[in-house]
Structure formats: C-alpha cells, structure tokens
C-alpha cells in the first residue's frame, strides 16, 4: 500500500469511514481535483495548488478538512485560529456529514482560484 492509501486504511473506526467518505465528497465536488500524497498529507490539488487536505486532530481524533485559502472567506463553520493559509472544517465521525455545508464552503473558495 502506498502512503496515500495507508493514510485512510490505517485509521480506526469511525474515523476511517469518515475520512473515506470525505475523500469521496471532495473528489465528487470537482473532476479536476488531483488527489495525491503531498507534503506528507492527502491533498486535493486544483490548478496545481492545494485546494484542501484531510487530517485528524491528534488530541481528539477528530477528522477535518483543511481548506487552502480558507482564511480569505468568512464562514461560521470554519476555524481559522492563527493560521495564515488554511481554515479547518471539523467533522464529527459519529454524525452525518453535511455535504451541503462542505459544498457551500468550497463554492466560496473556488471563487478565489
């Protein structure tokens, strides 16, 4: 298994299923996204730039989508913290994923590309 595949399949449930679902949601959002292992992260590139990547918060084991250029948009579900490039969209692996929220955020970010 390559590092990209390992990222998803080495996780414990329910995080594993959540990440696989998020991967599918992201890939289905735009056909031009390139999914690749980049900077030791499962990234989704658009026009050769990081559009977003998936990760898991270490302390809480909460999956999230880190959205490139996310700090440039204002959305109540995004966490900026002191980041200068990405904003985080946290996803509870024990609840339904809000595809509508993800798409609304992505629609705003796409305007920046």
Pair type for strands 41-46 and 86-90: unpaired
> Any bridge partners for residue 79, and if so which?
88
Distance CA 84, CA 72 (A): 9
SS3 (DSSP) at 13: coil
Q: What backbone torsions phi and psi does residue 35 show, to the nearest 5 degrees?
A: -95, 115
Pick the CATH number of 3-110 from 3.90.1150.200, 3.10.310.30, 3.30.70.260, 3.40.50.1950: 3.90.1150.200
For the stretch 43-100, pLDDT in tens is 999 999 999 999 999 999 999 999 999 999 999 999 998 888 899 999 999 999 999 9
pTM: 0.94
Distance CA 103, CA 108 (A): 9
For the stretch 46-59, pLDDT in tens is 999 999 999 999 99
């Amino acid at each position: 298994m390559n590092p990209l595949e390992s990222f998803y399949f080495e996780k414990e449930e329910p995080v594993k299923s959540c990440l696989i679902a998020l991967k599918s949601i992201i890939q289905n959002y735009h056909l031009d996204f390139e999914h690749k292992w980049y900077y030791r992260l499962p990234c989704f590139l658009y026009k050769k730039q990081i559009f977003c990547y998936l990760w898991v918060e270490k302390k809480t084991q909460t999956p999230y989508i880190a959205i490139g250029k996310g700090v440039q948009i204002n959305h109540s579900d995004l966490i900026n913290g002191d980041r200068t490039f990405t904003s985080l969209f946290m996803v509870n692996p024990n609840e339904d994923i809000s595809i509508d929220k993800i798409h609304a955020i992505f629609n705003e970010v796409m305007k920046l590309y």
